[in-house]
Structure 1
């Protein structure tokens, strides 16, 4: 370990100062960004969990040696967060020597366990009831040398959200991998193209953007006061951010999603949102009908359900993995947390046909993409922090999060299978915990699969695997309807 640690020993000289009653390095510290500070406030104290399934057994010593390269690339992984009480509680990044043994955790496992899949779920769930020790850089790597139904071994990367958002952290991970088919080639990822509104009339395009922005901003500001979501079985009670969470995932065919996308002239994201609406409708209908001796297909849903998701937009310029590698080399400050949020209304209710879920999703997503609501949320958060402090921003964030039912996020992963240190990866399942909402659905593409990752409050959602089934079944229904529609139009 001395040899490994020495790779991180060359750091800038730092001086010490009195912080929280202890001698701690302060002079060379860089303050946390405004958004990063909010992630330390109650109700917004978010941790990112990324579950990685391996296609083969891995040599942990090889992984350790290569992790040095990741840590060196990203200074946040080799810096502590230190709070200075004498300066209004300001938190700074303080460079430090990293002892990997304090970050890499290898639990003793019973190889004769009854269910390895259940063990991994329980292990990650237990992590959601704890926080990372801030006396070291706020990340951990847990390796579970156990074979599951979809992997030969499993690792769990846990990091505090103040280090960075999902896009920057996943991009950092991918920039340290290579194609499984070519050890010398970086993975390629889909580049998300920003909506440019209506192209046939510039005036209408501008008017459309202004109108959508005004409607989105007004709704955004009034939601915590007057526009709270309906109390459905998926709505979290107060204090849900402290509950244990269950992390489950389900992979479906990306080709099936692309088939629907191409047939309906939509985006992959539109299809994913449409599938999610259909699945939530099926799930909630079942929950409302529990204990009722009535035919299963009956509609038990109340009318006019208000159901919204906190939807995350990446505000960085699109560019893919190579652009991220260039960003690292040029030391640009685009990592961290560069995300905006919008309130995304989801239509909960049975439609005339499965394809209507996708059509509704496209209409809503087109309005959100043709607006500046996400940018408004990002810059207004920075202004609130600047003039009123992170505590006020944290309170407002919690009120906004709590008025919605769930979180929703998606991420375009690599187009082909990738490997780290020569070890191929079976799946990547990123998620979060610490939010005051009972459900987070994250969708991430990887090679020929789309993986839905659920972070579910166990007290509110005791059966998250059933919701995974509903997601899978909803995609099948939408795909079959697409094929049938195509046959009928021939």
Structure 2
């Protein structure tokens, strides 16, 4: 949930991996050892305008042992997965396919960086790693001569960066595979506990229950119609008013900066209890709403119109089971939790409110109303199906152009991925933090949050010529959550 890699559009257009695809969409890539076609969604991420690489950053507790990490990778479940041991090749009809190789040379995939990264005069490891990631977002692609993944080891910063092409799978797939491949730090044979989202139980008892179902059905039809029409209009001409965070056509090639906002999951859970039936995602949207309002107050002293709409693109997991899955589930193409790119997008409207005049929990209440309507609708499902139909029958170029227009006509992108709830380890070295970001989009602002153990880190990637101070923005998000926590505590005491 997401070229973009520093080459000119012309150069990337000539890359053979960017050829258009027009295959029928399956639930995920097939689980064969023979050549498999690249699905339309996978092919979409190979298009020049939307070429995407996922960066998964791991901080290590102990100094990096290169030999131990290579040995772990060679014997891990990661290399047994077909996508991580397959090349992209051109098939008999000229279409791109996954071709399983007989041998993966780990030495060609592990990139060791010995020298420290210079981030600023006030050097620190986090800033240095974020500088490295920002450079990767616009300056370096993945070679088609080997499977489309790499593991960069930043020795001076005790950190590793997995670079995985989005055509291989989405964030939920990759997090599941990592959890299965990198066992818990305490017990190597134990699969780490995985985050989960509980399912709501619908009770249909008597006449009242059926009325509730009827009202819910009418609401689903109504909101689906409104949101799908709006989604279509966004792909054509409807766009946000320009603000201090707006991107646009070509911004994916602009230099990037990264900052990290750090949250405690316990704080988010406490805040969500202050509003009945709220979720962690509601809290996240509320935090983003409050943080962006603070940032716009900071950047626009003359103020903005109260209630100004700022629209984001949300990446949503479409799997039947939202929890992370074991490796055996990931390998089943007919599973509801199967491997691949099984996610969609929906539009998220948030509204500017002057931060000094708004009660903190009001942002959460507004976020819950918006998210409830989105969950009640079928917007994400329809956008996924329509995208597949467009890719299949009109070709990748037209489908990509339409989604590119949606990104250009909105103001930000955001995702939230459930991560392991217990500590994982690579080569016996415990992982202290887990973060995700992707290569650049036409948005000037993208946010990707991952929960790991008892914390949640959000990587904030910005076009630095538009948003020169992402650290201020990250601090605003952190303070917004703390303000909500304090307000929730006061309400509880009252």
- Candidates 88, 92, 95, aligned match of 1:81: 88
- Map of 1:14 onto structure 2: none
Residues 138 and 160 in structure 1, CA contact (< 8 A), matched pair in contact too: yes
- Map of 1:158 onto structure 2: 163
- Candidates 276, 281, 298, aligned match of 2:288: 276
- Candidates 345, 359, 368, aligned match of 2:349: 345
Residues 236 and 402 in structure 2, CA contact (< 8 A), matched pair in contact too: no
- Map of 1:174 onto structure 2: 179
Shift of 1:359: 0.3
- How many equivalent pairs are there? 447
Matched, 1:317 2:317: no
Matched, 1:139 2:149: yes
1:113-124 equivalent positions in 2, closer than 5 A: 115-117=123-125, 118-124=127-133
1:163 match: secondary structure: coil
Shift of 1:112: 10
Residues 116 and 146 in structure 1, CA contact (< 8 A), matched pair in contact too: no
1:180-195 equivalent positions in 2, closer than 5 A: 180-193=185-198
Summarize the Cα distance change of 1:119–1:108 in structure 2 as closer, same or farther, 3 Å threshold: same
Summarize the Cα distance change of 1:100–1:436 in structure 2 as closer, same or farther, 3 Å threshold: same
1:412-450 residue CA offsets vs partner (Å, 9 max, x unmatched) = 112222223321111111111131111111122111112
What is the alpha-carbon distance in structure 1 between the residues aligned to residue 82 and residue 380 of structure 2? 28
2:196 match: secondary structure: coil
Residues 197 and 205 in structure 1, CA contact (< 8 A), matched pair in contact too: no
1:346 match: secondary structure: strand
Shift of 1:198: 9.4
What is the alpha-carbon distance in structure 2 between the residues aligned to residue 330 and residue 110 of structure 1? 42
TM-score w.r.t. structure 2 length? 0.85
2:235 match: secondary structure: helix
What is the alpha-carbon distance in structure 2 between the residues aligned to residue 112 and residue 155 of structure 1? 17
- Candidates 461, 466, 474, aligned match of 1:468: 474
TM-score w.r.t. structure 1 length? 0.86
Summarize the Cα distance change of 1:276–1:216 in structure 2 as closer, same or farther, 3 Å threshold: same
1:300-338 residue CA offsets vs partner (Å, 9 max, x unmatched) = 2234422111101101121634x4323146565721100
- Candidates 375, 386, 395, aligned match of 1:389: 395
Matched, 1:457 2:466: no
- Map of 1:292 onto structure 2: none
1:68-467 equivalent positions in 2, closer than 5 A: 68=74, 69-83=76-90, 87=93, 90-96=95-101, 97-110=103-116, 115-117=123-125, 118-128=127-137, 129-147=139-157, 153-193=158-198, 200=209, 201-265=212-276, 266-289=278-301, 300-318=303-321, 320-321=323-324, 323-328=325-330, 330=332, 332=334, 334-350=338-354, 352-467=358-473
Q: CA RMSD in A?
A: 2.3
Say which is worse superposed, 474-483 or 129-138, in terms of deviation.
Answer: 129-138
Unmatched 5+ stretches in structure 2: 1-15, 18-32
- Map of 1:43 onto structure 2: 49
Shift of 1:468: 0.7
1:272-310 residue CA offsets vs partner (Å, 9 max, x unmatched) = 110111001001111112xxxxxxxxx722344221111
Summarize the Cα distance change of 1:453–1:240 in structure 2 as closer, same or farther, 3 Å threshold: same
Shift of 1:110: 4.8
What is the alpha-carbon distance in structure 2 between the residues aligned to residue 28 and residue 402 of structure 1? 39
- Candidates 484, 490, 493, aligned match of 1:487: 493
What is the alpha-carbon distance in structure 2 between the residues aligned to residue 338 and residue 74 of structure 1? 17
1:483 match: secondary structure: helix
What is the alpha-carbon distance in structure 2 between the residues aligned to residue 79 and residue 35 of structure 1? 17
What is the alpha-carbon distance in structure 2 between the residues aligned to residue 73 and residue 107 of structure 1? 26
1:341 match: secondary structure: strand
Summarize the Cα distance change of 1:112–1:124 in structure 2 as closer, same or farther, 3 Å threshold: closer
Shift of 1:206: 1.2
Summarize the Cα distance change of 1:460–1:421 in structure 2 as closer, same or farther, 3 Å threshold: same
What is the alpha-carbon distance in structure 1 between the residues aligned to residue 366 and residue 200 of structure 2? 17
1:51 match: secondary structure: strand
What is the alpha-carbon distance in structure 2 between the residues aligned to residue 112 and residue 229 of structure 1? 36
Summarize the Cα distance change of 1:462–1:267 in structure 2 as closer, same or farther, 3 Å threshold: same
1:98 match: secondary structure: coil
What is the alpha-carbon distance in structure 1 between the residues aligned to residue 462 and residue 52 of structure 2? 14
Summarize the Cα distance change of 1:174–1:388 in structure 2 as closer, same or farther, 3 Å threshold: same
Shift of 1:195: 6.1
Summarize the Cα distance change of 1:111–1:240 in structure 2 as closer, same or farther, 3 Å threshold: closer
Shift of 1:374: 0.5
1:328-371 residue CA offsets vs partner (Å, 9 max, x unmatched) = 46565721100011011012222631100000110011111111
What is the alpha-carbon distance in structure 1 between the residues aligned to residue 202 and residue 409 of structure 2? 29
- Map of 1:67 onto structure 2: 73
2:232 match: secondary structure: helix
Shift of 1:171: 1.0
Summarize the Cα distance change of 1:179–1:437 in structure 2 as closer, same or farther, 3 Å threshold: same
